[in-house]
Structure 1
Amino acid sequence: MNKLVKHILALLFCGCLLQPASAEELKLTSLDGNTVLTVNIDEQISWSVEKYNRTILPKVIVDMTVNGNPLAKSPSLKAKKEVDRSESFEVTVPLKNHKVSNEYKELQLGFKGGFGLHFRVYNEGVAYRFFTSLRGDVEVNNEVMDMVFPDGTNSYFPKEVSTYSHYERNYLHLDIDSIPVGDFCSLPVLFNQDNEQLRVLFSEANVYDYPNMFLESAGNKHLVSMFPKAVKETIPQPGARADRNVIITKEHDYIAKTNGKRTYPWRLFVITNDDKTLLEQDMVMQLSDPLKIDDTSWIKPGKVAWDWWNDNNIYGVDFESGLNTETYKYFIDFASSYGIEYVILDEGWTKSTTEILDFNPDMDVKELIRYGEEKGVGVILWCLWKPLDENMQEILDTYAQWGAKGIKVDFMQRADQYMVNSYEQIAKACAERKLLVDYHGSYKPNGLRRAYPNVISYEGVKGNENNKWSEDITPLHNTILPFIRMAVGPMDYTPGAMINMQKENFNISFSRPMSMGTRCHQMAMYVVFESGLQMMCDNPSNYYKEEECTRFISKIPSVWDRTIALEASVGEYVAVARQNGENWYLGGMSNWEERTIHLDFAFLPKGTFELELFTDGVNANRFAQDYKVKTITVQKGDKLTLKLAKGGGFAGILHPVE
């Protein structure tokens, strides 16, 4: 052997010695064979994912720092196991499908040092989470997720200016490499590759006793995880909103103090080249804890006559409208007339915003609850989170004793560990008293509602209420929401505006608000948008005046046996079919573009169906409230072409013909 060969072999041998003994590459492939997740264990733990024979995420580095020690530094693998699952479960309040299929492959990795990782691959995407098996309580200082994206990736980026937020954001269409270092967003967030032909939706699930994750730009196509620190001390914000806003004055140096033997939240990625998948997938539900309530028979989803958006601006009555008993009896009468399940008493019903155990002298809440029961209408009570948190047991006991059906709790505005725990505490305490919960001023759904289905809806969305003070709620915005925010769970957008305008006619009015887009655009929301508690935001006087539309909306349920996406393109258009019992319901919406939608009734079972259909009127481009209603018969396999106006939409109900 000559000296050159010996020298090369020596170098190769030294190189091998420099590699950590634990270096390993592990692969996990989806059941359909299209998605391949590769885990690399070297000086650190990273993973990548391929789908459609291309690299989607080239490198994601993950780690956790617990009690000041990075767990995944020079990791040593001691156990691995691959598991296949093919199961299904039923959803108590089904907002997409009554039965959810849960089929995946899972790679379970255990490392020296008392920690490990679970990786799951679904046909629709991938997910991972940490677990630890450490004694006693631990302090989690940080959880690292460092993602690098391929060239040309852009995003729908819900930029935040603080983690103290209502999480009601516009989705900014930004190139990843153009996001300034330090800018960050809340979740969910959508990434786009291959000229927007491929989507990656990122969010989280099963978040308990742990803060929400945010994503921060680190520059050079990198986004990294960030978390709010655990809150140590707050003081009321000086001024008019001291009842609901706080200033965080001290934070701990950790993000969570928690039991050392536990699993942590799932980090999930829906990956698809078909926008319909974003509407049909249910990964947050699949990755969340099962039911924790024994009796769910009392949980009743439905629609709500809502007061706050329309500022109690009823007319044609012989009493002065406002925050008084007569006005709310009018709301209850309206709800009863149309079979609407609930009325909300929003801000103003209490003696003050902090004295929420008593009502204002012009409103007899006990009488309203009694009157509602007589009329078959339940009453839901709004309250601020801050006073509720300070006196939860007495307040909830009182509301339950009065006969209220639920609470709309507002102004949480945080996503730290204490607040996440508060969400579960409220859900559990309300379930014990058979009270529904609608979270406003809230972060997005994280899976809590599978365990506590009395959590009937979440806000955390820039919805119709913003019409009262801004021009942000456009048909473009509305055709983005189903693919991002709604893709992770219900959103209390509060649809139903009866005063509808095209862009050039829209005006901001706090007391007499209106919406952008057509009447049918608003009506379609009752089918397209998911919420177990679907608001009717306009005032009863307007609904009475628009009897034909109101009667139609009142027939649309808020829960579904099955959902099928018919047409879908993020920020352009959306059309869905949803089944409830023997009936099917159609809804479709467009952005500001006029367009033609082609409906294929291949989803129908055999037989003849009568279709009651609301479409944009011939003059809807000028007068947005113009609509046309017709009834036709259709069968499986029939096709129908619909023309949508600017900001347009359509809605339909299909009844089987005997």
Structure 2
Amino acid sequence: MNRYFLKTIFIGFAILLNTASWADTQSISEYRLSSPNETIDVVVKVKEGVTYSVEFKGQTILDFSEVDLFVEGYPSLSKNTNVINASTDNNRATVYPEVRVKSAQIDDHYNQLSLQFDNKMTLRFRAYDNGVGYQFVTDIDGSIKVIDELAEFNFASGTTTYFPEEEGFYSHNERSYLLEPISDIKSRLGSTPTLVNSSPAKVLITETALRDYAGMWLTGNGKNGLKGTFPELPTKVVMGEAPWEDRNEPVAERADFLAITDGSREFPWRVLAIAENDIDLLSNQLTYQMAIPNQIGDTSWIKPGKVAWDWYNANNLHGVDFEAGLNTETYKFYIDFAADNGIEYVILDEGWYPLGDLMGTVEGFDVPAIMAHAKKRDVGIILWTTWLTLRDQFDEAMDRFVELGAVGIKPDFFQRDDQEMVNFYWKIADEAAKRKLLVDPHGSYKPAGLRRAYPNIITREGVKGLEWNKWSYDSTPEHNTTLPFIRMVAGPMDYTPGAMSNAIGPAAWEAISYSGKASDHQDFSIRFTRPMSQTTRAHQVALFTLFESPLQMMADSPSQYKKEQTTASFIAKVPTVWDATIPIAGKIGDFVAIARQSGDKWFLGAITDEFARELNVDLQFLGKGKYSVEIFRDGVNAKKWAEDYAIEKRIVTSKDTLALELAPGGGYSARFEPIK
């Protein structure tokens, strides 16, 4: 037995060769890589190209799928290229996230296979206990032009997918997840992450370490699979039509290549998060583990927290002695509400500057006075901007944000992830970090690793959130019970929960059979300036524990929260970052329950879809001793009056079980504090 076999057996996984001779590299045809616990296996074949398959507990969950990178002037892997070296690595380390989205530490344990080819490319595969990734590396002097990339994902017949269908590459990536046979996707376009049911496991497809390159989207291959597709570099853009010319810049023409980039670099990881049970997806952190590490050094100035948000509620204050709107008095009121409730931030959303000019002022809107009042009340101010105006006035605008005393910015309406736009995200992150500014991108693509490289990218949108209730029926309880298993696996999502006007939506109304047709019921209605949720009040409160966003919005009006102070006070005590996350129970699109730890306190959140549900939650996650628990749950009449809730207090231990009774579209929250 040669030294190579001895080494691979020692570290716990093997590369299989079709010959016993290590020197005869050109005859290598197959390699096998196992995860540390040996539940996941990757089989790589090199023969007139490179294909790989993935097995879970001995069963194939991804059929052989081809990968390739097409660089101008260099042969691709399918053009008679040969492996000149194969190496292996085993990593076991602890990662400590600067911003604790799910946990204070992550066990980063994987086995890695690297195949070096004679075309100056290396292909890496990593096997974790909860997923697989692969990445191209090039070692070429100077710059290169990447023409295209081949990323196949082939599955068995009968496989289904939750497909986030898109109309085109120009998108906010705010989608619903449609469950359908993968064979029906055909040539339709979808964004990532995308979840596939591939028995006996779920496979979530996404990417991370996206830098100086185009984002990956998916389309059907006409059979039983998906394949990556990528937006080419724009060569011509057009001005958006009025009144959106300050934010929209649609792409009119594109180049015939993806990127011009450094020839010596690592490309994005293609990530397959794998889960035997739905709830295993809730603790998956591969997109963070495989991302580029911290690039900014000290992060002590980055402060997670909650935000009193203005745009969702259209500045609708009442019970005040001034006319509410886009004016100084309104935002001083927001600041006072935030300070009185321990809320760290207030956003000045659209309207604080004359659209198209970040250096201008608006009559009746004294931003310096607002900033001074915020500083006096120890509340941070985050300033909204369109990405396009920010780009056109970048240096002076970024300096003005600092001069005004802002602690963060919320650039909006990006709607692209081609190489040019991805690079602009990185520029914003870098320049904001130099100025100690938080960044919350909206109208954005999904998290793809930037948050680890630049932890000041504290959250982002790229999700169909609560605001959709202002103009559609899409933000349903079922949608909310889908998001944690798909979109949230990619990273934080600025869903903006906290609606105080709550109603039984059409889906729940039909499910509980109060009427023959959902359309007969008008409890929920689309209202742009006084929006409401299609869930119970308790459901909205539970989202603060369930939905991960280190910068978490309280979306409704301060007047509504002051009127509903019991609800506001409960929400205000829920942290936005966590020391530990323990999935309790869940099924995609039906229900979800999660326990999270912050210091010596524990929090529990649970929601259901349009159907009432009972869950029994074992409290074994609690530590030793007794805990006082405060519960915010659906009231006995919540199925008819969605704003009905009840508060309970009791003493429990880790040996106890809580019986959760969830109304249609309902929810449940609990806060546990140790009794000392």
Name the TM tier (shorter chain): over 0.9
Alignment match, 2:515 = none
List per-residue Cα deviations over 1:31-84 (Å, max 9, x = no partner). 111111000000110000100221100111000110165520133011011111
Q: Deviations over 1:56-114 (max 9, x none)?
A: 00111000110165520133011011111100111111110111110000001100010
2:201 corresponds, among 194, 198, 201, to 198
Among 150, 163, 175, the alignment partner of 1:157 is 163
Residue from 3, 20, 32 that aligns with 1:27? 32
- Aligned counterparts of 1:371 and 1:560: Cα–Cα separation in 2: 31
> Alignment partner of 1:516: what SS?
coil
- For the Cα contact (< 8 Å) 1:499–1:513, is it kept in 2? yes
**AA of the residue aligned to 1:614:** F
**Percent identity over the alignment?**
44
With 125-134 and 245-254 compared, the bigger mean Cα shift is at 245-254
Q: Cα deviation per residue 1:282-313 (whole Å; 9 max; x = unaligned)?
A: 00011011111122111111000000000011
1:264-296 CA-partner distances (Å, limit 9, x unpaired): 000011111111210011000110111111221
Helix, strand or coil: the match of 2:329?
Answer: helix
> Which residue pairs with 2:88 in the alignment?
82
Decide which moves more: 380-389 or 247-256.
Answer: 247-256
Aligned residue for 2:51, secondary structure, equals strand
Aligned 8 A contact 1:68 1:141 in 2? no
- Structure 1: unaligned runs, 5 residues or longer: 1-19
Whether 1:101 aligns to 2:107 is: yes
Query: Aligned letter for 2:223?
Result: N
Q: What is the aligned counterpart of 1:211 among 211, 214, 231? A: 214
Q: If the length of structure 1 is used for normalisation, what is the TM-score?
A: 0.95
Q: Please report the TM-score for the alignment, with normalisation by the length of structure 2.
A: 0.93
What's the offset of the Cα at 1:171?
0.7
SS in 1 for 2:440: strand
Measure, in 1, the Cα distance between the counterparts of 2:319 and 2:301: 36
Q: Does 1:257 align with 2:260?
A: yes
**Partner of residue 134 from structure 1, selected from 134, 137, 140:** 140
- What residue in structure 1 maps to residue 308 of structure 2? 305
Matched position secondary structure for 1:458: coil
CA-CA distance at 1:239 after TM superposition: 2.5
Offset at residue 346 of structure 1 (A): 0.4
Q: Give the distance between the partners of 1:110 and 1:90, measured in 2 at CA.
A: 31
Distance across 2 between alignment mates of 1:21 and 1:654:
61
In structure 2, what is the Cα distance between the partners aligned to 1:294 and 1:516? 43
Quick one: distance in 2 between partners of 1:235 and 1:193? 42
Query: 1:221 corresponds to which residue?
Result: 224
Paired AA for residue 90 in structure 2: D
Alpha-carbon distance in structure 1 between the residues aligned to 2:526 and 2:389: 32
Determine the C-alpha separation between the residues in 2 that align with 1:248 and 1:283: 32
Question: 1:23 offset after TM fit, Å?
Answer: 4.5
Contact 1:41 1:75 in 2 (8 A): no
> What is the SS of the residue equivalent to 2:494?
coil
3-state SS of paired residue (1:168): coil
Corresponding position of 1:486: 488
Asked whether the 8 Å contact 1:22–1:42 carries over to 2, the reply is no
Q: Distance in 1 between matches of 2:359 and 2:615?
A: 51
Measured in 1, the distance between the counterparts of 2:192 and 2:547 equals 18
Q: Residue in 2 aligned with 1:559?
A: 577
1:21, distance to aligned residue in structure 2 (A): 4.7
In 2, the alpha carbon distance for the partners of 1:396 and 1:21 equals 54
2:453 — aligned with what?
A: 451
On the 8 A contact 1:237/1:247 being kept in 2, the answer is yes
Does the residue aligned with 1:544 lie in a helix, a strand or coil? helix
Alignment of 1:407-422 (within 5 A): 407-422=409-424
Q: Which runs of 5 or more residues in structure 2 are unaligned?
A: 1-24, 506-520
Aligned AA (2:283): E
* SS of equivalent residue, structure 2 residue 238: strand
User: 5 Å matches for 1:475-514?
Assistant: 475-503=477-505, 504=521, 505-514=523-532
Q: Which residue of 2 aligns with 1:62?
A: 67
Tell me, yes or no, if structure 1 residue 599 matches structure 2 residue 604.
no
**1:5 paired residue number:** none
Match of 1:636 among 654, 660, 663: 654
1:470 to 463, 469, 472: 472
SS in 1 for 2:400: helix
The one-letter code of the counterpart of 1:193 is S
**Given residue 264 of structure 2, which amino acid in structure 1 is its aligned partner?**
K
1:174 aligned onto 2:180: yes
Partner of 2:508: none
Whether the 8 Å contact between 1:71 and 1:113 is mirrored in structure 2 is: yes
* Equivalent residue number for residue 325 of structure 2: 322
**Equivalence for 1:40:** 45
Distance in 2 (CA, whole Å) between partners of 1:105 and 1:404 is 44
| Whole-angstrom CA distance in 2 between matches of 1:157 and 1:68 | 36
How far did residue 233 of structure 1 move? Answer: 2.4
| Contact 2:155/2:225 (8 A) holds in 1 | yes
Q: 1:363 aligned to 362, 365, 388, which one?
A: 365
Q: Which residue of 2 is the match for residue 115 of structure 1?
A: 121
| Alignment check: 8 A CA contact 2:309 2:553 kept | yes
- Maintained 8 Å contact 1:63/1:70: no
Q: Considering fraction of residues, name the structure with more strand.
A: 1
In structure 2, distance between residues paired with 1:564 and 1:122:
19
Report what 2:555 is aligned to.
Answer: 537
Are the counterparts in 1 of residues 504 and 641 from structure 2 also a CA contact under 8 Å? yes
The equivalent of 1:50 in structure 2 is 55
One-letter amino acid matched to 1:104: Y
> Which residue pairs with 2:286 in the alignment?
283
User: Structure 1 CA distance, aligned partners of 2:436 and 2:250?
Assistant: 33
- Secondary structure of 2:221's partner? strand
